[in-house]
Amino acid sequence: MDTILQHRAIVNLPATELESALSAFLEPVLLHLPEKRLREVGKLAVQGVIGGQSPVVVQMARGVRHEETTIWPMAKRLYRFIWNERFSHRHLLKGLYGIAQCTVAEHRPSHLVIALDPVNFEKAYTEALIETLINRVEDPLRHLGNYRTLIEGVTYAGYEQTVTLSESKRDDILSGVWNLIQLDPGGVILIPASPRVEVTDYMEPIDESLQTIHSNYVSVKITGNRQYKVGYKVAYVTGRLAYFNQLDGDRAYLIVRNFFNHPSSVYPEEPPDVPGQRGDSIHVYNDDGCFGGFGELEVNGQTIGAETGKSSSTDPIVLWLYAGAPDTPISLEAFLADQTGKYSVIARSAATKQSPAWQKEIASLRSQ
pLDDT score, position 93: 82
What does residue 252 show for φ and ψ, rounded to 5 degrees? -145, 170
Within 8 A by CB and 6+ apart from 207, the residues are: none
pLDDT score, position 250: 83
Sheet holding 211-213, edge to edge: 128-136, 155-167, 312-324, 252-258, 240-246, 188-192, 217-221, 211-213
pTM above 0.75, yes or no: no
Region class of 366: left (phi > 0), else alpha (psi between -120 and 50), else beta: alpha
Mind listing the pLDDT tens digit of every residue in the chain (368 residues)? Answer: 444 444 555 556 666 677 778 888 888 888 888 888 888 888 888 888 777 777 777 777 777 755 555 677 888 888 888 888 888 877 888 888 888 888 888 888 877 776 655 544 444 446 778 899 999 999 998 998 888 888 888 899 999 999 999 998 888 888 999 999 999 999 999 999 999 999 999 998 999 999 999 988 999 999 999 999 999 999 999 999 999 998 887 888 999 999 999 999 999 999 988 888 999 999 999 998 877 789 999 999 999 998 999 999 999 999 999 998 877 655 444 444 333 333 323 333 223 333 455 455 555 544 54
Tell which residue, 216, 219, 230, has the closest CA to residue 284. Answer: 230
Helix (H, G, I), strand (E, B) or coil at 346: coil
Tell which residue, 150, 142, 231, 141, has the closest CA to residue 191. Answer: 231
What does residue 95 show for φ and ψ, rounded to 5 degrees? -65, -40
pLDDT score, position 115: 65
Tell which residue, 317, 274, 324, has the closest CA to residue 297. Answer: 317
Within 10 angstroms of residue 189's Cβ, the number of other Cβ atoms is 24
**For residue range 168-208, what is the model confidence (pLDDT) as tens digits?**
888 888 899 999 999 999 999 999 999 999 999 999 899 99
